[in-house]
Structure 1
Amino acid sequence: MAERAATLVADYGASDAALLDVAFGRAKPEGRLPFELPRSMDAVRASRPDVPNDTENPLFPYGAGLTL
């Protein structure tokens, strides 16, 4: 359902204050995924465990995100 969302927020340890600063426009949103997010468990099973970022057609590829 990510295709239908106006905004997606992923939090990898940010403080509540930092997250709220972005949500209320006091700070610019920025960040990049340090890994890819596979589209399904079948994609995970088909990937090789010794090769990073090798799933076919990931939901979000390595480096996805935004920097304003």
Structure 2
Amino acid sequence: MVAILSVGSPRHLSLRPRAGGHETVRFPQGHGDLIVMGGSCQRTWEHAILKTAKPVGPRISIQFRPFNVA
């Protein structure tokens, strides 16, 4: 499990299936938004905050993960 807290300028979190074949899913992430992804989500989906063509302002992504979990 991982929890991601977004602080700063809004961006989009992109998810795509690791197996391929499906389109990417995008979720807007604003200041103070929290997303929690369970283990099955991380095993079956790749996640990223993609680069943008234009500057969007400062942003910090804070991730919380359980200690000693592979």
Q: Bigger radius of gyration, 1 or 2?
A: 1
Q: Shorter-chain TM-score: which interval?
A: under 0.3
Indicate the structure with greater helix content.
Answer: 1
Length-normalised TM-score, structure 2: 0.23
Greater RCO structure (CA 8 Å; 6+ sep): 2
Length-normalised TM-score, structure 1: 0.23
Indicate the structure with greater strand content.
Answer: 2
